[in-house]
With several copies, the nearest count.
Chain A
Amino acid sequence: MITTTYRDAIRAAIREALTKDPRVFLMGEDVGRYGGSYAVSKGLLAEFGPDRIRDTPLSESTFVGAGIGAALGGMRPIVEVMTVNFSLLALDQIVNNAATIRHMSGGQFSIPLVIRMATGAGRQLAAQHAHSLEGWYAHIPGIRIVAPATVEDARGMLWTALEDPDPVLIFEHQTLYNMEGSLADNAGAVDLDKAAVRRPGKDVSLITYGGTLGKTLQAAEALARDGIDAEVIDLRTLRPLDMPTLAASVKKTRRVVIVDEGWRSGSLSAEISARLAESHFYDLDAPIARVCSAEVPIPYPKHLEDAAVPQPPAIIAAAREAMGRRG
């Protein structure tokens, strides 16, 4: 076992991909000389050269579209969009080309493209730099959405994403880059199909992903001290959703709390809630609860940012309420 960080695990995954497959290259703003705005790609330019570590101009729509074209042309691009906030400038290329060309061409062309971006709030970057839109992206057919919440997934999801013949968007929560964790020395690719039970429990299912996994696990520990045995599920892949794993948990616990950093209305938590209520209406002993972000652009001051996004006390309260505990 080695101890490493989420950031270094992603860098190791990129380095491995570049080494294994000559078709792989990394392209995006400041991935080269600057070393990546989150220092993920630091050192890669020196190691792999400017042909494979490509600094782009500030042109999100075009370098994402160029990634789509390069994938069509036989390459395996890893496009880094610095943050999800800027990806809105490339949304047309993602929705109307990356997600759609395979279908419009009657299956003649696939787009083996990986797009990585940082997401989420938590660093007081204010309204234009704190979006959590990964669940929103999960609405689009034709793409796969993944959100590594652990060092192991940060290390392993990229390779599997590159092997996927279709576009995969990887959302890295910006508060996780410094997170430490241990990895097997031979750690490598991980599957992208199954959600993971991060903490087994029998009383209530806490379903989350990405940046809120840690807070949800904290809440579960607190609940345990209170005699409530919570099961914590990490979705890992937001599209497609691994419903069998969620269903198994619901059948066991009969109570569900979904924790999602997206704005509540229209967040992924709504889809999960709707699906579970459709398939397990008669298994549920309590209404499905959601702990999401408040419907406000994220404010700058820490106390307001903290109040805007899900926190352990709210998760605990929702779980207790699902258990019928008061106060």
Chain B
Amino acid sequence: MTDPKVRLQPDQHRTRLLHEMIRIRRFEEKCAELYSTGKIRGFLHLYIGEEAVAVGALQALSPEDAVVATYREHGHALARGISMNALMAEMYGKHEGCSHGRGGSMHVFDAKTHFYGGNAIVGGGLPLAVGLALADAMQRRPHVTACFFGDGAVAEGEFHESMNLAALWKLPVLFLCENNLYAMGTRIERAQAQVDLRAKAQSYLVAAEAVDGMDVTAVEAATRRAAEGIRRGEGPKFVEYRTYRFRAHSMFDAELYRDKAEVEAWKVRDPITTFSATLKSGQATEVLVKAIEDAVAEEIAEAVAFAEAGTWEPVEHLLNDVYTPARDAHLNPAVGAK
């Protein structure tokens, strides 16, 4: 779902995947830079290293499908097609942001792309996804709700309750677990008695598959299989992506809990470099990557300019958007109105 104007060789799906991953990578590198200059504040959770998951997985969705994400959702937002301008403006807290600046990095929302947030309560999005899928099922809509969550979220009671309810009611929920081995500083072995997360999904009779989360094509294939099964009416599916976070958990993390060596070992499997290596050979790839990098650099520069030019919501508006004013009645036509 690349912004058309920067899309290269639209006919080439693999090129698009590479382009998407590079967009996310460079966008977040810019965010980290902007964080150090104070343009972006609050919590900033980078997705760097995990780009293949959002990019590959979201290929399986149609525009009408819903997405529920986490506080580490820049990658999901961009891959889903939220404009980089709107996302960057949100990072700044400007009124032109996709959440009009109220949410910031952890609360990216976008009605157009059915992107239901950015949730900063670990596991908090799982019940929402079950409900969105229930609404689709009750209205006989053929959509799927994709719910991203991490390995850490699997320990929360909401995971158990949501898997069971979705399975019990055969709801079209695509449970997408980003297993990057750590929940902040807690490695999965110290959080889960059973570290094979598929076994948990199967205990609700939910079909589960694990896939290399550093391989964008493998991610896409596995997620498409799961989504198609759901569209065939087979009920919820669980996909585990084995991936890794290259950066600190947030900008406050000293990373006392893992060795550099482990990080370096995973960096060798960088989803972008490994994938581009499979594309063409030598020169040609370099040319292609260069073209993508240039386009992305331009898009980012534009997004920063857009965010910089954005406006601060007047303080007088502080109490807006706590309750729905009459002017937004269209959001909820009077009950009974069809």
Chain A interface residues toward B at CB < 8 A: 17, 20-21, 23-25, 29-30, 32-35, 37, 39, 42, 51, 55-77, 85-86, 89, 92-93, 96-97, 101-110, 112, 123-129, 141-142, 144, 159, 162-163, 165-166, 294-297, 299-304, 307-308
Contacts and interface: CB of A to CB of B under 8 A. Distances in A.
B246 interface: no
B322 A142 contact: yes
B36 interface: no
12 contacts: A21-B336, A29-B183, A42-B256, A66-B131, A69-B134, A71-B131, A101-B109, A102-B321, A104-B109, A125-B120, A126-B107, A165-B324
Contacts of A159: 335
B256 A64 contact: no
Interface residues of B, number: 82
Nearest to A46: B256
B245 to A, nearest CB: 14
Interface of B: 41-43, 66, 93-94, 97-104, 106-107, 109-111, 116-124, 126-136, 138-139, 152-153, 155-158, 161-162, 164-165, 168, 183-187, 190-192, 252-254, 256-257, 312-313, 315, 318-324, 328-329, 331-332, 334-336
A60 B153 CA distance: 11
B132 A92 contact: no
Given A55-B186, A62-B162, A109-B111, A92 B124 contact: yes
Given A106-B100, A294-B319, A58 B165 contact: no
Contact of A165 (B121, B131, B329): B329
Contact of B165 (A63, A109, A112): A63
A103 B41 contact: no
Task: Please classify the interface of chain B as helix (H, G, I), strand (E, B), loop, or mixed, using the class held by over half of its residues.
Answer: loop
Contact of B41 (A55, A67, A299, A302): A302
Given A34-B184, A35-B185, A127-B107, A141 B134 contact: no
Contact of B138 (A57, A75, A93, A141): A75
Which of B66, B98, B110, B324 lies at the interface centre, i.e. has the most chain A CB atoms within 10 A of its CB?
B324
Given A69-B129, A73-B131, A165-B329, A128 B121 contact: yes
B318 A23 contact: no
B186 A62 contact: no
B132 A69 contact: yes
Nearest to A304: B318
A222 B294 CA distance: 55
A102 B322 contact: yes
A299 B127 contact: no
Contacts of B109: 101, 104-106, 108-109
Given A34-B256, A58-B155, A73-B136, A106 B127 contact: no
Contacts of B312: 301, 303
